[in-house]
Amino acid sequence: MRYLVTGGAGFIGAYVTRLLVQGKKEVVIYDYDIDPRREILEKIIGKEQIASVRMIRGDITDLTHLIRTAQEFHITKIVHLAALLSRASSENPSLAVRTNCDGTANIFEIARILRLEKVVYASSNTVFGTADMYEKEYIPNDAPHYPLSVYGACKSFNERLAGYYFSEYGVDSVGLRFPVVYGVGHREGAASSILTEELMVKPALRKPGKVPYSGNEILNWLYVEDAARGVVMASQKTRTKTRAFNIGGEICTVAAAVEVVKKLIPGADLTFSPKQIEFTGKFETARIREEIGYQPQWTLERGIKQVIDAVRNR
């Protein structure tokens, strides 16, 4: 069994690769930014373990290169994590569509042409709208999509595209709707990375942090190792009844997370942004628990402590 991990040099991708290597799976990383991330990859995956991982530099929109790579290495499963992140997508919508939509379409085409066993791809809870758009407190897994961003719209389209490839060609795929993913080795440019930097990294270095929220927002805090474990578990399930899943960790307000940091770092200098962002982190996750067996293992306090310790050790 051989995996192709697109975006494998990224934040979640590095942890997915580590889990796969630990499980004795052969892994090929396909990423545009391998060299700048090599040192972080070695720290996350391990210098000895990373020697077994093949690394291919490539663009996710290059279908020919992707097919050639998949054929050369006899790929049987794909974990698709390559994407233009939320802030960059808003700044360049046309590039976001090419990268996030055309790139994902390429992955489904490869799976169709080569008859691959499984595709697991990154969706996002940004496919949903604000809490006032839904009747239930916890947004159901099958709730309608009302994306408010270019990034969310691209992810919503990808879920529809996945459904088409499944019904028309039998391409077996699973989408995971990631919430705020934080942890050691976070990648710059993502909204969650800004939060991690201000809320956890700067206090660990005894620097003041400005949290980009008012404090009242309710977030779903998913530690990166839980996110990676969910991906690997999904890749090992065939033809689940549900095609895309809400996945999450601990649910609490940003203010509560600040209190956790202050408990771990007495005297931490943290301030809030005056602007409140309207959305919810409350999502129903029974489907992924029942069909894939996933449940989060990391509490928010344990995850934040892991980040703080890593920063101090560094």
Q: How far apart are CA 292 and CA 235, in angstroms?
A: 9
pLDDT digits (tens, 9 = 90+) for 135-173: 999 999 999 999 999 999 999 999 999 999 999 999 999
Among 222, 216, 188, 210, smallest CA distance to 277 is for 216
Share above pLDDT 70 across residues of the chain, in percent, rounded to a whole number: 98
- Write the single-letter amino acid at 72: E
Question: Taking 80 as the threshold, does the pLDDT of residue 276 lie above it?
Answer: no
Q: What is the reported pTM?
A: 0.95
Distance CA 31, CA 10 (A): 8
Q: What is the pLDDT of residues 189-229, one digit of tens each?
A: 566 788 999 999 999 999 999 999 999 999 999 999 999 99
Q: Show the 3-state SS of 298-310.
A: CCHHHHHHHHHHH
Dihedral sign computed on CA atoms, order 129, 131, 132, 137: positive
More confident residue, 314 or 282: 282
Over residues 183-187, mean pLDDT: 84
**Nearest CA-CA partner of 308 in 207, 225, 179:** 207
Given this model, what pLDDT does residue 188 score? 62
Task: Supply the pLDDT for residue 191.
Answer: 65
Report the percentage of the chain scoring pLDDT > 90.
Answer: 86
How confident is the model at residue 36, as a pLDDT? 77
Q: Show me where the domains of the chain are located.
A: 2-179+224-247
**CA separation for the pair 272, 230 (Å, rounded):** 31
pLDDT at 136: 93
The mean per-residue pLDDT over the stretch 4-30 comes to 96
Q: Which helix (H) or strand (E) holds 311?
A: helix 300-313
The confidence score (pLDDT) of residue 190 equals 62
pLDDT digits (tens, 9 = 90+) for 87-121: 899 999 999 999 999 999 999 999 999 999 999 99
Q: Do 180 and 199 meet the contact criterion of CB atoms below 8 Å apart?
A: no
Listed residue (227, 223, 221) closest to 255, CA to CA: 221
- List the structure tokens of 163: 């459904």
* Range 59-72 average pLDDT: 97
Q: Contact, 139 vs 128, CB < 8 A?
A: yes
Report the chain's mean pLDDT, rounded to a whole number: 94
Q: What is the mean pLDDT of residues 182-189?
A: 79
Helix H or strand E segment including 291: helix 286-291
Which superfamily does CATH assign the domain made up of 2-179+224-247 to? NAD(P)-binding Rossmann-like Domain (3.40.50.720)
Asked if 138 and 220 touch (Cβ cutoff 8 Å), the reply is no
